[in-house]
């Protein structure tokens, strides 16, 4: 049996590998994938039986599909198990408040409560048991070890401490890893300047935030006459938005700070969310399949696609006991390839990370456009100032894609000539990538507000156009 892998989980929190070891658990991380999949199949059957016994939501859903845990003989059989969606979770919590009828432990055992913001509907409550919190900490410590962090390193966490799981998951991992955890936070006015002061003083080895915030931090530091490389960061790991696996964005961060850039993160619902995360030697993200089993699936058939193809991740917790997710449909987009990666781990790999969402796709004149593609292109255009807006508008009956892009300070100093240079460069690169004519509007540096959290860059005013047209018709 692979190291410390049992259900329910019971990790030895005193365990550490040799400091020079590349791997936290050498057997689990480098075993033959076929052998690992057989172990995963056995674990799936255990988890399904556990949920059948303790979670009415799963028992009801599987019974309606004519399935029981004992019917799952192969991983192909598992693909027949109905997916669950965020809508299913919200409905469960509405009918069985506050944690839903998929909570598998007594409420008295809940250790942490987190959740979604609820800005677009009923918020979702995450009730995480004490055993699960310990498991999350151990999982994240193991993955942060793979990134190159070690006991005694200082880890600076520059993300909002609120309902958001990202900051708390990074903190739990840093603490278990034996690091000096610095939960700095983010979000309040003036905090970026204070972060720069603290980074200069503490010289942390590790840094966690969103990619957008790292670039904002570098921008403010340079405005204050400080080279971000002076912070001495070694490992910067990110989640919350696409970017850290996209060459243009990853390389900008790497160049600004002189640090290793590692992508990580899936969904708060499936925490430990670092179940997809890079390592010190790999690009993109590894799927740590013995923590959360991930199928990259066709969004329509919900069956695994072959390696090399694009699909949506479907997640199954293999170690969660409080609110286990079993075939949770993500709605994200990625493509996967077979391992091993450069670090020798034999997990599947997401070379470009998770780069978009099915429901974020913009359709313009019959073409499918993903905001993350535009972001990636612009980050490789010389003279890009670091922020942009994607405006989908309508002229007459035709959709138009307008990209408002900030010029860099040096280019802006050239006046209209500099703006025209950026307009031509960006237009050509975007048309080549998207296969679509776009209108470019170059604006002055600092036009768009920066954020400490996830950047919101898409403005779709076609609904406004339609409503105005309907009013005229009335």
Per residue in 80-95, pLDDT (tens digit) is: 999 999 999 999 999 9
* Dist. CA 39–CA 290, nearest whole Å: 8
pLDDT at residue 156, as a whole number: 98
In DSSP terms, which residues pair with 75 in a beta bridge? none
pLDDT at residue 5, as a whole number: 95
* Dist. CA 72–CA 48, nearest whole Å: 9
> What pTM was estimated for this model as a whole?
0.82
Residues 144, 237 contacting (CB under 8 angstroms): yes
Residues 312, 267 contacting (CB under 8 angstroms): no
Residues 300, 274 contacting (CB under 8 angstroms): no
By the 10 Å C-beta count (0-12 exposed, 13-18 middle, 19+ buried), 281 is classed as: middle
* Dist. CA 225–CA 221, nearest whole Å: 6
Domain range 361-473, CATH architecture: 2-Layer Sandwich (3.30)
Q: Where are the domains of the chain?
A: 1-359, 361-473
By the 10 Å C-beta count (0-12 exposed, 13-18 middle, 19+ buried), 444 is classed as: exposed
Q: Splitting the chain (474 residues) into consecutive groups of 10 residues, what average pLDDT does each group show?
A: 91 96 98 98 98 98 97 98 96 97 98 79 91 98 98 96 93 98 90 96 97 92 97 96 86 96 96 98 96 97 97 98 98 95 98 84 68 82 88 67 89 88 88 81 87 69 45 41
Place of tokens 């050509």: 428
Per residue in 132-187, pLDDT (tens digit) is: 999 999 999 999 999 999 999 999 999 989 888 999 999 999 999 999 999 999 87
Q: Which fold has domain 1-359?
A: Rossmann fold (3.40.50)
pLDDT at residue 465, as a whole number: 39
């Amino acid at each position: 049996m692979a190291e410390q892998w049992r259900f329910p989980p019971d990790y030895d929190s005193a365990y550490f590998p040799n400091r020079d070891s590349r791997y936290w658990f050498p057997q689990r991380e480098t075993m033959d994938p076929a052998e690992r999949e057989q172990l995963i199949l056995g674990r799936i059957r255990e988890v399904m039986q556990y949920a059948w016994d303790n979670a009415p939501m799963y028992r009801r859903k599987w019974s309606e599909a004519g399935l029981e845990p004992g019917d799952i003989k192969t991983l192909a059989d598992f693909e027949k198990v109905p997916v669950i969606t965020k809508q299913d979770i919200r409905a469960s919590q509405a009918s069985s408040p506050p944690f839903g009828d998929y909570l598998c432990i007594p409420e008295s055992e809940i250790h942490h409560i987190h959740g979604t913001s609820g800005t677009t509907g009923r918020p979702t409550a995450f009730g995480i048991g004490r055993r699960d919190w310990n498991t999350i900490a151990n999982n994240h410590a193991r993955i942060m070890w793979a990134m190159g962090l070690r006991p005694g390193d200082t880890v600076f966490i520059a993300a909002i401490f609120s309902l958001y799981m990202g900051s708390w998951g990074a903190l739990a991992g840093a603490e278990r890893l034996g690091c000096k955890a610095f939960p700095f936070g983010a979000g309040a006015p003036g905090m970026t300047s204070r972060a720069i002061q603290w980074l200069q003083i503490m010289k942390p080895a590790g840094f966690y935030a969103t990619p957008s915030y790292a670039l904002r931090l570098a921008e403010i530091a340079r405005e204050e006459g400080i080279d971000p490389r002076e912070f001495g960061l070694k490992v910067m790991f990110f989640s919350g938005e696409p970017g850290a696996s996209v060459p243009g964005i990853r390389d900008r961060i790497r160049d600004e700070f002189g640090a290793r850039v590692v992508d990580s993160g899936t969904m708060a619902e499936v925490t430990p969310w670092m179940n997809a995360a890079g390592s010190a030697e790999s690009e993109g993200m590894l799927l740590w399949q013995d923590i959360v089993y991930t199928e990259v699936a066709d969004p329509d058939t919900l069956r695994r696609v072959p390696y090399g193809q694009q699909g949506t991740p479907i997640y199954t917790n293999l170690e969660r006991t409080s609110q286990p997710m079993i075939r949770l449909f993500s709605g994200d987009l990625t493509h996967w390839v077979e391992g091993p990666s450069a670090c020798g781990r034999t997990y599947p790999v997401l070379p470009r990370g998770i780069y978009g969402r099915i429901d974020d796709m913009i359709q313009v004149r019959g073409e499918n456009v993903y905001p993350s593609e535009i972001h990636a292109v612009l980050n490789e255009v010389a003279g890009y100032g670091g922020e942009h807006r994607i405006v989908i508008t309508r002229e007459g009956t035709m959709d138009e894609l307008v990209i408002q892009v900030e010029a860099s300070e040096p280019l802006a100093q050239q006046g209209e000539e500099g703006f025209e240079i950026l307009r031509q460069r960006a237009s050509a690169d975007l048309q080549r990538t998207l296969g679509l004519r776009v209108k470019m509007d170059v604006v002055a540096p600092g036009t768009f507000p920066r954020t400490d959290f996830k950047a919101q860059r898409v403005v779709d005013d076609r609904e406004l156009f339609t409503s105005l047209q309907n009013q005229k018709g009335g």
